[in-house]
Structure 1
Amino acid sequence: MKKIFFALIILLFNIGSVFGGNSLRKGTCGALELIIPIGSRATAMGGSVVADTRGTEAIYWNPAGMANTEGTEVIFSYLNYIADIKYSFIGITTNLGNFGSLGFNTRVMNIGEIIVTTEESPDGTGEIITPNFIIAGFSYSRQMTDRVFFGSSMSVIHERIMQETARGVAFDFGFQYIPGVGGLKLGVVMKNIGPKIRFDGSDLDKNIRLPEDNPQAATRNVRLELASFEIPSYLQFGSSYDFKFDENKSFILSGSFRNNNFSSDEFSGGGEFNYKKKFMLRVGYSSSSEIEYIYGLNFGLGLSFDFGGNVLTFDYSNGQTKYFDNNQWFTFKLNF
Structure 2
Amino acid sequence: MKLRKAVFFAIIISLFNVELVLPQITTSAVPFLLIAPDSRASGMGESGVAVADNVWAVYWNPGGLAFQEGSEIGLTHANWLPGLGLSDLWIAHLAYKQPVEEIEGVIAGQVTYLSYGEIQHTGETSPEPIGPPFTAYEFALTVGYSTKITNTVGLGVNARIIHSHLSPFGAGKETGEGITTGFCFDIGVMYKPEVLVIPFTSLDIGKMLSFGASISNIGPKLSYIDRAQADPLPMYLRLGFAFQILQSEYNNIAFSTELGRLMVNRWGETTDEFYKSFFTTWMYRSFNEQIRKFVSSMGVEYWYGSPKLLGIRVGYFYEDPREGNRKFLTFGAGIRYDMYGFDFSYIDALEELHPLGETLRLSLSIAW
What TM-score does the superposition give when structure 1 sets the normalisation length?
0.80
Mapping for residues 175-324 of structure 1, pairs under 5 Å: 175-179=189-193, 180-181=195-196, 182=205, 183-200=208-225, 227-262=229-264, 264-276=293-305, 277-290=308-321, 292-306=324-338, 311-321=339-349, 322=351, 323-324=354-355
CA-CA distance at 1:41 after TM superposition: 0.5
Work out the percentage of aligned pairs sharing the same amino acid: 26
> Structure 1: 5+ residue runs without aligned partners?
1-22, 201-223
Give the aligned length. Answer: 287
Contact 2:317 2:326 in 1 (8 A): no
CA-CA distance at 1:111 after TM superposition: 1.2
Max radius of gyration: which structure? 1
Structure 1 counterpart of 2:95, from 77, 86, 91: 91
> Structure 2: 5+ residue runs without aligned partners?
1-21, 169-176, 197-204, 265-291
Contact 1:55 1:67 in 2 (8 A): no
Q: Which amino acid aligns with 2:47?
A: S
Q: Which amino acid aligns with 1:285?
A: Y
CA-CA distance at 1:293 after TM superposition: 2.9
What TM-score does the superposition give when structure 2 sets the normalisation length?
0.73
Contact 1:80 1:328 in 2 (8 A): yes
Q: Which amino acid aligns with 2:138?
A: F
In structure 2, the CA distance between the partners of 1:237 and 1:126, relative to structure 1 (3 Å rule), is: same
Mapping for residues 132-171 of structure 1, pairs under 5 Å: 132-163=137-168, 164=177, 165-171=179-185
Q: Secondary structure of 2:117's match?
A: coil
- RMSD over equivalenced CA pairs, Å: 2.1
The range that moved more, 119-128 or 239-248, is 119-128
Q: Which amino acid aligns with 2:337?
A: F
CA-CA distance at 1:119 after TM superposition: 2.3
- 1:103-128 CA distance string (max 9 Å, x none): 01111000111121112533433531
In structure 2, the CA distance between the partners of 1:76 and 1:24, relative to structure 1 (3 Å rule), is: closer
Q: Which amino acid aligns with 1:178?
A: K
Distance 1:106 1:280 in 2: 26
Distance 1:162 1:320 in 2: 32
Mapping for residues 34-113 of structure 1, pairs under 5 Å: 34-82=33-81, 83=84, 84=86, 85-97=89-101, 99-113=104-118
Distance 2:125 2:297 in 1: 48
Distance 1:135 1:65 in 2: 21
Contact 2:153 2:190 in 1 (8 A): yes
Q: Secondary structure of 2:126's match?
A: coil
Distance 1:232 1:103 in 2: 22
Distance 1:149 1:245 in 2: 23
The range that moved more, 32-41 or 244-253, is 244-253
